[in-house]
Amino acid sequence: MLKGLLFDLDGVLTDSAKFHLQAWSQLATQLGITLTPAERE
């Protein structure tokens, strides 16, 4: 039985920004889009 749920949306518990960047970069590559350095910020 589930007694609780823990989630982190703003980087307090873990810094997930690098994973978001990796995911967006992978999607952009699959779609043939090149992200500029400004778009990666």
34 contacts: CB under 8 Å, gap ≥ 6 = 28
**Choice among 10, 17, 34, 41 that is catalytic:** 10
15 is catalytic: no
- Quick one: tokens of 2? 């589930």
Q: Where are the alpha helices (DSSP H) in 1-41?
A: 17-30
**Choice among 8, 19, 27, 33 that is catalytic:** 8
Positions annotated as catalytic residues are: 8, 10
